[in-house]
Chains A and B, each alone.
Chain A
Amino acid sequence: MKNKKIEIDPRIQLIILILMGCLVLFANVNQLMALNGFSLLFLILNGKYRKAFNSIVFLVLIYGMHHVIQQSDQQFIKLLGFFTFLALRFMPILLIASVLQDVPSGRLIASLQKIKIPKNILITFSVTLRFFPIMQYESEAIQMSSKLRGLSFKQPKNWLHPLNSFEYTIVPLMMRTLKISDELAASASTKGIDYPAMRTSIYVIQVKWFDVSMVVLFVVWSICVFLFIR
């Protein structure tokens, strides 16, 4: 393959993801922004320029909103601050996870198999990641048909009944998800997923210097964030 895109080892990505998950629990708002900065850098290094750009715009908006909300005395607006706070806190994790989600599943499974993760957990994990795009596609299709019925929450008249709109999204989504997961598992079982011996892989899995430097960068970055930003 001539594609020169950097591919960070999925194990390294997972480590960073877990560490990031812990760090965001302790960080204050300014530190969170710095952690978001790392996630954006991570996106760019992985060649996801478009997503990085969108996320920057989103983060700036949320950050701005958060400050405005902080100034306000209104209880209701303060309540909104809770959501901006959550958004800032979860963005670093979501961004890194979005890169992990794009790793070809064969590569992901091969890589995680190397650290002796049991096959059952491994398969579940890789399918879970694969499910997000499906869910997105499915919910778009459902949104469309609920719009046809006049049930979509994008139509203002339904804002008075948020629970109903929620139900009309969740019920078909559940039905579809059940059906798809059942068929998916059946398909896998006809392809020898239960074979007792070790899986092989067409991907060569090796930790390279770039992977190591990524972890080092992350550790140094985090230490700096917590030492210097207050």
Chain B
Amino acid sequence: MPKSKNIISLVDVSFSYNNAEEQLKHISINIKKGSCILITGSSGCGKTTLTRLINGLIPHYYEGELSGDIIINDKKTNQMEAWEYGLYVGSVFQDARSQFFTSTVIDEVAFSAENYGKSPKWIKERMNSILEYNEISYLKNQKLINLSSGEKQKVAMAAAQINDPDIYVLDEPSANLDNRSAWLLAELIKQLKDMGKTIIIAEHRFFFLMEVLDEVVYMKNGEIDARWTLDEFAALTEKELDYFGLRSNKMKQLKVKESLEKNHDGSNSYLEINDLAISYNRFSKPILTHLNFDFKKGDVVAITGKNGVGKTTLAKTICGLLIENSGEIKLASKTIRSKYRLNHSWFVLQDTDYQLFSDSVINEMMLGMEQSESNRQLAEKLLRELNLWEYREQHPATLSGGQKQRLTFAVGLMRQPDILIFDEPTSGLDALNMKQIVKLIEEKSTKGTVIIIISHDYEFIDLACQRVVHIGDYG
């Protein structure tokens, strides 16, 4: 087959979900066999919707108004059954927890092949070679629930390969991955590409993909706004990327200073951590010991380290959700027990759905607070500052990802905490939302709040933090 053959063609395709405004407007694009395409753009630009057209979730799972022609492998998709897509297209999604249908690694990898009625012997052979090829044979007898996020994403990639599809569609595959896992993912994508597969990736973060991409498609408001070849894309300056609201196309080296040391002038330190040992719960073995840090008022500090090293556990311990095994945490030179630390700190979780309880934005702000006039005024002031005031009567679940995150941030600020902790605040955020978070952090820092950020997003750390603490070994 000639390499220049189009494997996917979209001809004047428009789509809107039921009773919603148009998500895709007159999209026409040809994708050549064996190419690797990045689809990017700010949140809500329609890139996920575009991937769903290719893996058949639209129109077979998500219903709506679809017009235009989609041709995959020389076949018009309106003549295809829902199950046919799975033979041509392998899909990987963002959230590993909700893309696994089964409970163990081998079940998950075999799942799709079993559905298509392949013989058990064939499945087993194919599975073994895929596990080996993806270098995850050592996970074979594992349960999915025990894997790290990086390992889960590898299993998801392996599961997508079982039927040997020609096309791979990846929707934000790196959202929960640390840099090392992201590089490994890129390597795997490169291998697939070398085998002649066509790969379509929808992503915000793409520095790790620069070696494998052929073309970049930039979407805006449901339309294709710009297209670049790799060379053109790599040549875009920071300013131009900024104009498009895109993240950096280069791997960032951390410019900010790394320091584990206590600051020895010591006098004005506000939050002190002395010889701390932490664990998942009071009765289990400590996972990290002898932690010593110092924070001054207004410090913005990033905590980095591999997936699973205990960053989140450390954060939970600092803010008092977990009790320390040994050591002490001092605030303004006084040792403070976990129960009281809760009153001094606020933790913005990675997954904001967990943190929103009420039926409207304004009630969310007032929840658990004294219903006083001053609190009401504070709530209004914060919502206005964070551009959420106009949504005050909306249900929190109807907000976008970035808005939800700002809301949990605002809810925390209602308590006027001395310590603010963020867990992966930029996962799945576009450049615009990221910069908004950076601005908020700067503002709070000038008011003297200690801000601790767990992140592996170097671009973000570089913008927001003054120093970095690395936990565990480098890798």
Contacts and interface: CB of A to CB of B under 8 A. Distances in A.
- Most chain A CB within 10 A, of B83, B104, B145, B349, is at B83
B86 A192 contact: yes
Nearest to A187: B99
Given A148-B342, A172-B356, A172-B357, A190 B101 contact: no
Interface in B145-191: 145, 159, 163
B119 A149 contact: no
A191 B97 CA distance: 16
B268 to A, nearest CB: 28
A151 B367 contact: yes
A183 B357 contact: no
A180 interface: yes
B449 interface: no
Nearest to A146: B357
B115 to A, nearest CB: 4
Nearest to B94: A183
A199 B115 contact: yes
Interface in A1-34: 1, 3
B342 A187 contact: no
A130 B102 contact: yes
B354 A142 contact: yes
Chain B interface size range? 35 or more
Contacts of B225: none
A184 B106 CA distance: 18
Contact of A145 (B103, B112, B355): B355
Interface residues of A, number: 53
A78 interface: no
A107 B145 CA distance: 17
Given A106-B111, A150-B368, A175-B353, A180 B97 contact: yes
Contact of A180 (B86, B98, B102): B98
B353 A191 contact: no
12 contacts: A104-B106, A106-B111, A126-B102, A144-B316, A184-B101, A186-B61, A191-B86, A191-B91, A192-B86, A193-B115, A194-B83, A200-B117
Given A151-B367, A180-B98, 20 more contacts: A104-B106, A141-B349, A148-B342, A149-B367, A171-B358, A172-B354, A172-B356, A175-B353, A175-B356, A184-B98, A184-B99, A186-B57, A186-B93, A187-B100, A190-B91, A192-B86, A192-B87, A196-B83, A200-B123, A202-B114
